[in-house]
């Protein structure tokens, strides 16, 4: 019963009150009045410099402004929110501001030396998720030349890791591994979420920014990390198998239930939450590691050795054996001899050329991870049922013939540049024993869909129903660009109006604390067609109070008026209930609309493994004047958003 009460509080809390289990930088140490005045004055001057540069810089140098803005933002943020966590943070803030002024001066003079510097470099980029400037660090070896190797390193858990602390570390430490022939990218990962949700997007955006900035070989990308970073490495290697030449997770976690003991207290989490563990559990995606050479590391006495044990079991069921280096006699750290051996083996893999595989064995539980990246030449485009295992096994028999077996797949694509192997004319595809003859599509992919039990070729990917990037659940909208739309009207239902007004403000506060950004916010009457084209919209209110929601009336999977709410099998009174849900935006079906919800997970102090979605595609909240709002029911829409 205690767990059930905590669950209700946490579900409710992410939009209403302080989270039950917060992971966010704590209120920091007091600093002297003199130090605060000094830093605030310097930060204001740097902000003015940036504003002037924004007006005067040419198009060639303007893209480098985030490399300065990220330094200003790191200091301004800890000042605004009293997040000085350590006694040397004031000195770190001074050094970052000095670096910011130096870079601003260089830009005014028409150059940017840090873009070609070796050693430790800090960079910034504008995140597409919320438009905030996010930091990452780079280790550039002497003699670096474009076209070389790039390693991503994911940091461990640190509940005091503000941007200030992160950038300070990245100006002083080369990290665990710094190969002589590789650039090493250190993403911030949006703080402390195990590189999930917006933290996952942050890793991929930092990687993309660094690849463009340094001209690295996209066939020589590696991912490594330790502890929480090891958990992130298990996840990103298994879910994005086409990106990486190799992966090396150290410790961490690889699944939710057994690592966090989530099922040991009865009653356990609701069914919808357990189904959503399939989003991030790397054990579910073990088959994808056929495409990624992987070497795990664990300390012999480290409780987090459990991650490698679980992955070894999952890989064994797929007929694979996990390569596992164990540090003798140590707990949660690298043992020096084992670390040297791990580096030797890993560097040997990275020194060999990457080859597009003749055979693929791909699995997913959601179109959030459709494959089709890098050297992986097949992509999921439709599932029979989300959150159940889907599979594609494909092999090139010869340049003009591919054989494919599918499970729980209704649409997929073959990326033609790898499929056709340069042949012309007609080729033969055997799908689930059905033979199809297809013409060479040139540079475009080949799309296939299943209708009435038969496979057909099509010209394009599915444009309706759940599809990659538009498949839910609620939290999926916050992995990409979103706009919060608040009501200018007032609901005729007082309880609903009070809930909405408090909830959207709490979400924006929680987003800054949890994901270290500032959500874009607009009034309903100010939303433009350009906004609808560029962003998922997160709409708060009801059809009476929010003009944008009123424009969608009758076009959403929830039927909602002043009297009743009808969603799923629910038919409840509007006066004391509120729906939360995600669906394709009827005003732009290429984007989501989210109604009355922010991110749904609540952070846990015990383990990042429980940072998983807590609500599915839709939920109904019961409002009461005497107790906290609670989720009365929740569920998933079907594959056609019904």
CATH architecture of 474-635: 2-Layer Sandwich (3.30)
pLDDT at 186 over 50: yes
State mean pLDDT over 296-317: 98
Ranges of beta strands (E only) in 408-551 are 409-414, 426-431, 434-439, 446-451, 454-458, 482-486, 520-523, 536-539
Report whether pLDDT(17) > 90.
no
Q: What is the pLDDT of residue 9?
A: 35
* pLDDT at residue number 605: 61
Q: What is the pLDDT of residue 400?
A: 84
Q: Which residues of 232-268 are buried (b: 16+ CB within 10 A; e: fewer)?
A: bbbbbbbbbbbbbbbbbbbbbbbbbbbbbebeeeeee
The predicted structure's pLDDT at residue 58: 95
pLDDT at 603: 65
568 confidence band (pLDDT: 50, 70, 90): confident
Is residue 415 within 8 Å of 444, Cβ to Cβ?
Answer: no
Percent of the chain at pLDDT > 70 equals: 94
E strand map for 266-371: 295-299, 323-327, 359-364
Q: Please, which pLDDT band fits residue 93 given cuts at 50, 70 and 90? A: very high
Among candidate residues 382, 237, 421, 400, the one with its CA nearest the CA of residue 311 = 237
- Whether the Cβ atoms of residue 203 and residue 152 lie closer than 8 Å to each other: yes
- pLDDT by residue (tens digit) across 428-437? 999 999 999 9
Q: Which residues of 544-565 are buried (b: 16+ CB within 10 A; e: fewer)?
A: bbbbbbeebeeebbbebeeeeb
As a whole number, mean pLDDT of residues 128-149 equals: 96
**277 Cβ neighbours under 8 A, 6+ residues apart:** 255, 256, 257, 612
Helix (H, G, I), strand (E, B) or coil at 77: helix
Does position 4 have pLDDT exceeding 60, yes or no?
Answer: no
> At residue 171, does pLDDT exceed 50?
yes
Q: CA dist 326 to 294, 296, 306, 314, 332, Å? A: 14, 8, 12, 19, 11
What's the pLDDT at 22?
Answer: 56
Task: State residue 416's pLDDT score.
Answer: 67
Q: Is the pLDDT confidence value at 18 over 60? A: no
* 364-391 residue pLDDT tens: 999 999 999 999 999 999 999 999 999 9
**pLDDT of 359 above 70:** yes
Q: Using one digit for the tens of pLDDT, what is the confidence trace for 387-424?
A: 999 999 999 998 889 999 999 999 999 996 555 444 45
pLDDT number for residue 349: 98
Residue 581 parent element (H or E): strand 577-585
Q: Name the pLDDT band for 16 (thresholds 50, 70, 90).
A: very low
Which pLDDT belongs to residue 1?
25
Q: List all residues 6 or more positions away from 318 whose beta carbon is below 8 Å from its beta carbon.
A: 286, 287, 290, 361
Tell whether pTM > 0.85: yes
Residue 579, pLDDT score: 96
H or E element that contains 381: strand 378-383
Instruction: Quick: pLDDT tens for 570-611.
Output: 899 999 999 999 999 999 999 999 999 999 987 666 789 999
Res. 626 pLDDT band, cuts 50 70 90: confident
Average pLDDT over residues 210-231: 97
Half-sphere exposure of 288 toward its Cβ, with a 13 Å CA cutoff?
34
Task: Work out the mean pLDDT of the chain and round it to a whole number.
Answer: 93
Res. 444 pLDDT band, cuts 50 70 90:
confident
Q: Is the pLDDT of residue 129 over 70?
A: yes
Say what the pLDDT of residue 423 is: 47
Domain boundaries, the chain: 359-383+387-458, 474-635
DSSP codes joined into one string, 248-268: EEES--S-SHHHHTTTSSSS-
Q: Dihedral (C-alpha) 615, 8, 481, 219: value to the nearest 10 degrees?
A: -60
> Residues near 354 by Cβ (< 8 Å), separated by ≥ 6?
219, 220, 245, 375
Region 503-529 average pLDDT: 96
């Amino acid at each position: 019963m205690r767990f059930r009460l905590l669950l209700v509080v946490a579900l409710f809390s992410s939009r209403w009150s302080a989270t039950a289990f917060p992971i966010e930088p704590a209120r920091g140490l007091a600093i002297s009045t003199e130090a605060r005045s000094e830093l605030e004055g310097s930060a204001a001057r740097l902000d003015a410099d940036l504003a002037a540069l924004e007006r005067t810089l040419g198009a060639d140098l303007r893209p480098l402004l985030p490399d300065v803005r990220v330094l200003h933002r790191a200091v301004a943020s800890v000042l605004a929110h009293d997040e000085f966590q350590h006694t040397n943070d004031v000195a770190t803030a001074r050094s970052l501001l000095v670096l910011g002024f130096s870079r601003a001066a260089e830009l005014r003079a028409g150059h940017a030396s840090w873009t070609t510097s070796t050693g430790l470099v800090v960079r910034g980029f504008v995140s597409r998720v919320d438009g905030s400037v996010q930091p990452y660090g780079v280790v550039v070896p002497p003699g670096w030349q474009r076209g070389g190797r790039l390693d991503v390193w994911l940091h461990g858990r640190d509940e005091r890791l503000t941007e200030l602390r992160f950038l300070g570390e990245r100006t002083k430490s080369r990290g665990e591994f710094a190969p002589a022939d590789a650039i090493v990218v250190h993403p911030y990962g949006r703080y402390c979420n195990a590189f999930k949700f917006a933290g996952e997007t942050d890793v991929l955006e930092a990687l993309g920014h660094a690849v463009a900035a340094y001209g690295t070989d996209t066939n020589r990308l590696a991912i490594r990390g330790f502890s929480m970073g090891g958990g992130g490495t298990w996840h990103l290697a298994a879910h994005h198998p086409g990106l990486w030449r190799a992966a090396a997770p150290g410790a961490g976690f690889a699944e939710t239930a057994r690592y966090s003991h989530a099922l040991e207290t009865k009653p356990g989490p609701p069914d919808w939450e357990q189904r959503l563990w399939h989003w991030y559990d790397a054990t579910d995606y073990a088959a994808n590691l056929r495409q990624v050479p992987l070497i795990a590391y664990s300390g012999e006495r480290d409780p987090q050795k459990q991650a490698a044990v679980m992955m070894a079991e999952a890989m064994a069921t797929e007929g694979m054996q996990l390569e596992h280096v164990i540090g003798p006699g140590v707990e949660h750290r690298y043992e020096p001899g084992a670390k040297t051996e791990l580096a030797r083996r890993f560097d040997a893999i990275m020194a060999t050329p990457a080859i597009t595989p003749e055979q693929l064995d791909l699995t997913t539980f959601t179109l959030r991870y459709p494959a089709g990246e890098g050297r992986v030449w097949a992509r999921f485009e439709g599932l029979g049922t989300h959150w159940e295992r889907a599979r594609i096994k494909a092999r090139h028999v010869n340049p003009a013939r591919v054989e494919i077996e599918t499970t729980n797949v209704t649409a997929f694509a073959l990326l033609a540049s790898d499929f056709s192997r340069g042949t012309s004319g007609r080729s033969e595809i055997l799908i689930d024993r059905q033979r199809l003859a297809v013409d060479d599509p040139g540079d475009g992919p080949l799309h296939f869909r299943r209708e009435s039990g038969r496979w057909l070729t099509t010209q394009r990917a599915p444009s309706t129903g759940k599809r990659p990037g538009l498949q839910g659940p609620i939290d999926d909208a916050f992995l990409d660009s979103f706009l919060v739309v608040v009501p200018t009207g007032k609901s005729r239902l007082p309880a609903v109006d009070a809930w909405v007004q408090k909830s959207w403000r709490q979400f924006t506060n929680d987003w800054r604390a949890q994901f270290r950004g500032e959500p874009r916010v607009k009034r309903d009457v100010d939303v433009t067609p350009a906004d609808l084209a560029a962003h998922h919209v997160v709409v708060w209110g009801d059809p009476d109070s929010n003009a944008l929601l009123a424009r969608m009336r009758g076009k959403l999977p929830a039927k909602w008026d002043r009297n009743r709410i009808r969603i799923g099998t629910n038919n409840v009174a509007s006066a004391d209930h509120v729906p939360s849900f995600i669906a394709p935006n009827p005003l732009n079906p290429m984007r989501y609309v989210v109604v009355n919800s922010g991110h749904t997970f609540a952070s846990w102090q015990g383990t990042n493994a429980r940072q998983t979605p807590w609500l599915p595609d839709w939920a109904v909240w019961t409002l009461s004047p005497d107790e906290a709002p609670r989720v009365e029911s929740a569920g998933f829409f079907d594959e056609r958003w019904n």
